[in-house]
Amino acid sequence: MLGDLILKTTEKPDFVQHGGGQMLAINTFPGGNVSIQNFGSTYREISWDGWFEGVEAMDRMYKIGNMRQKGNPVIFRTEMYSQLVVIKEFTPDHRTNFFIPFSITLERVVQITKQTPKEAVDKVAEAIKAETEVQEEQQSYIVKAGDTLSKIAKNHYGDANAWDKIYQANQDSLQSPHKIQIGQELKLP
């Protein structure tokens, strides 16, 4: 079965591929040291060729095609196994409405239940990024005589063309990028 579709003899695989590998991050260091992080098992894809035949051929092709298009996990069940899969590829070759050869590839769905702890460097980088974002959010500028958004952008960002960034951040208080008021406080993103 694939989802709720019972596969007929000409639609079934002759065998189901099993086994797979490991998802590894391998780092080699000077002196011959090697660091290996194991992120879990990977599984071979299940693929086969078959054909739909008879008066239901078109309907059966559309049913599997719709399952692939939705992309939701479905159960693939054989006499021995029941596995959650996603239809990765489904390529029917429509010859007649009564004979449609196809190829299909299923990807096993594996639920990851444990997460790899973040490295200390990642935690420090996230803290620095969060602190920088807070600082950036708090910056503002008080408009002075002779200021334009382009002039403020040139002084703040080094690029006069970045005036639109200031305008977008202040659209709630600016009706036009050409009408700014002396003493007005602008947010500088």
Check whether 140 has a pLDDT greater than 80: yes
User: Which uninterrupted H or E stretch holds 101?
Assistant: strand 99-108
Question: What is the pLDDT at residue 37?
Answer: 86
- How many angstroms separate the CA atoms of 130 and 152, rounded? 25
**CB-CB contact of 83 with 17 (8 Å):** no
Question: What is the pLDDT at residue 132?
Answer: 60
Sign of the Cα torsion 22, 25, 29, 35 reads negative
- 36-79: pLDDT as tens digits: 888 778 888 999 999 999 999 999 999 999 999 999 999 999 88
Mean pLDDT value across the chain: 85
- How many angstroms separate the CA atoms of 174 and 68, rounded? 49
**CB-CB contact of 7 with 1 (8 Å):** yes
At 13, the amino acid letter reads: P
